[in-house]
Amino acid sequence: MLSLNRASFQEDMVKIIDRLPTQEEYRRVRHLVLQQLESTVTDDELATVLAECPHLETVVLSAVPATTDRTIVLLAETAINLEGIDLSGCAVTNIAVFELAAKLPLQWIQLNGLVGLTDPCITALVKTCSRLVELELTDLPLLSAISVRDIFTYSRKLRTLRLARCPLLTDKAFPAVSASRSSTPVAYPKGYEKPLPAKPTTWLDELPPLTLRHTADNLRILDLSFINGLTDAAIEGIVSHAPKIQHLRLSGCKLLTDRALESICQLGDHLDVLMLAHVANITDRGVVKLARACTNLRCVDVGFCRLLTDMSVFCLAELRGIRRLSLVRVHKMTDIALFALAEHALDLERLNLSYCDRLTLEAAHLLLKRLLRLQNFSATGIPSFKRKGVFRFSDPPPEDYDVDQQAAYHVFSGDGVSGLRKFLNKEEQRRRECETRNIPFVERSDDGLDLF
């Protein structure tokens, strides 16, 4: 009888999306998701509702920026079974996070864009919530190495960690490779006198390297995008500490070089997604090694890596599982790279070639004929795509683009990709007939096959 009552209770629970629950739903709501509201919800309205919902397990409040500490304190007192909460963009402070850490056994929490949060509340969170598997702390200008070191020390069950755009973070925040495990021992020439260590400029510089005896075998997703203080040494330590990362985002980490890619190679077949946009110092040498070591890569972004050439694309094209590839502004790339993609990367679903201005429409046509699974194709800023007849298959440009940006915008998705493919096929057929009949070929914007 008890099991039947419990099953009935579970079936009676509901999930509310993008609206506040009614009074009849207060005691039935288990998941409350407020991400895209049609009308504004005030903090008072939210507090009144949350105080009456004792069975909440997950709460997303990113669409209610007016949420304050008072409301979260009420939630912590009422929803004793709460497992996860998203407070991204809300007006909460350390007080709310301290209260959540003290009263609830959270499994996931997202605190993106809470500019007032500081290290003590994050440290309290990771020390008390031993079951934490997902932690998002992006866009936190006051977050420093102190609390991030505690994350790696105490949160041993984490599967997802996002720390993008935290400007105070440096190598000191991340695990270091111990001297016994370092793969590159330093050898000094005979007669060399080792200089004295540099004098620390801040108290963060005085922190010793973070050497951990355990490994983060559960960590699968790590986002360190646009952390300007990150160097190759940090990547070596991270990979050594978390050897099973599948999704790694390092876009905008400007100090990284090929040495970082060599460290990432140790992830081997575990690595599935790698984002390296704006990592301008990497070269073909590092990408070639990476592609040969991490053969299960499915999604790669090397946009704005201007030192790369066709050689990098050759190796990426040969990845058997590649589905998404971004090559934005890899300006040394030529048609030969497209021929390699057309030959080997037959399962590509998304391809971004924007601002690769050396590419021709003929090479792109060959690519479209071969890649039949392509669902999204970006060719913005490529001069050869400006010819008449092509623009009508593109998605509409964003409204805030100026006239020049709209003219250069060429993004094809879904039916637009197949439409462009058919148009270019017909044009190729007309061109061949013109050659056969020895008459001039004239480019047109229509789909007709007649020659005159």
pLDDT tens-digit series, residues 247-279: 999 999 999 999 999 999 999 999 999 999 999
pLDDT, position 2:
40
The predicted model gives 414-438 an average pLDDT of 88
Which percentage of the chain shows pLDDT scores above 70? 90
- Residue 178 pLDDT greater than 80, yes or no: no
Identify the architecture of domain 9-169 in CATH.
Alpha-Beta Horseshoe (3.80)
Indicate the pLDDT class of residue 190, thresholds 50, 70 and 90: low
Task: Write a three-state SS string for the chain.
Answer: CHHHHHHHHHHHCEEEECCCCCHHHCCCEEEEECCCCCCCCCHHHHHHHHCCCCCCCEEECCCCCCCCHHHHHHHHHHCCCCCEEECCCCCCCHHHHHHHHHHCCCCEEECCCCCCCCHHHHHHHHHHCCCCCEEECCCCCCCCHHHHHHHHHHCCCCCEEECCCCCCCEHHHCECCCCCCCCCCCCCCCCCCCCCCCCCCCCHHHCCCECCCCCCCCCCEEECCCCCECCHHHHHHHHHHCCCCCEEECCCCCCCCHHHHHHHHHHHHHCCEEECCCCCCCCHHHHHHHHHHCCCCCEEECCCCCCCCHHHHHHHHCCCCCCEEECCCCCCCCHHHHHHHHHHCCCCCEEECCCCCCCCHHHHHHHHHHCCCCCEEECCCCHHHHCCCCHHHCCCCCCCCCHHHHHHCCEEECHHHHHHHHHHHHHHHHHHHHHHHCCCCCCCCCCCCCCC
**Parts of the chain belonging to CATH 3.80.10.10:** 9-169, 224-308
pLDDT, position 450:
66
The predicted model gives 360-373 an average pLDDT of 95
- Residue 216 pLDDT greater than 90, yes or no: yes
pLDDT, position 300:
98
pLDDT, position 194:
58
- Residue 440 pLDDT greater than 90, yes or no: no
The CATH T-level fold of domain 224-308 is 3.80.10
The predicted model gives 370-380 an average pLDDT of 96
pLDDT, position 451:
60
- Residue 215 pLDDT greater than 80, yes or no: yes
pLDDT, position 428:
84
